[in-house]
Amino acid sequence: MEPDVLTLLSPERKHTGSTMHELTDDYYRRLLDALPCYVTLQDRERNVLWSNSLSRRDFGESSEKTCYELHRIDRSKCSDCPVQQTFQDGRIHSREMTFIANEGSRISVIEHSSPVLNDRGTIVSVIQSAVNITSVKDIQKQLIMLGQTVAGMAHSIKNIMMGLEGGIYVVNKGIEAKNQDEVKEGWEMVLLNFEKISHIVKDILYCSKEREPDLQRVNPNEIATQVYTLFKDVAARYAIEVGLDLDENVKEAVIDPVGLHTVLSNLVSNAMDACKIDLWKDEHLVEIRTRLGNDGSTIIEVADNGVGIDKDLKEHVFEDFFSSKGDMGTGLGLMVTQKILREHGGNITFRSRPGQGTTFVATFPQRDEPEQV
Residues of this chain that interact with another protein (CB under 8 A) are 155, 158-159, 161-163, 165-167, 169-170, 173, 182, 185-186, 189, 192, 237-239, 276-277, 279, 315-316, 319-320, 323-326
Closer residue to another protein (CB): 169 or 194: 169
Closer residue to another protein (CB): 167 or 357: 167
d(CA 316, CA 310): 10
Closer residue to another protein (CB): 186 or 213: 186
Least Å distance between CB 269 and another protein?
14
d(CA 23, CA 5): 15
d(CA 129, CA 113): 6
Closer residue to another protein (CB): 203 or 273: 273
CB 288 within 8 A of CB 302: yes
Q: Give me the amino acid identity at 212.
A: E
Least Å distance between CB 369 and another protein?
43
Least Å distance between CB 293 and another protein?
37
- Please provide the DSSP assignment of 125-149 as one string: EEEEEEEE-HHHHHHHHHHHHHHHH
Closer residue to another protein (CB): 116 or 192: 192
- Among 40, 24, 339, 95, which residue's Cα sits nearest to residue 208? 339
Least Å distance between CB 351 and another protein?
24
Which residues have CB under 8 Å from 157's CB, separation 6+? 200
- Among 278, 262, 280, which residue's Cα sits nearest to residue 348? 262
Least Å distance between CB 240 and another protein?
10
**Other CB atoms within 10 Å distance of the CB of residue 335:** 22
Closer residue to another protein (CB): 84 or 193: 193
Least Å distance between CB 331 and another protein?
12
Looking at residue 36, what DSSP letter applies?
S
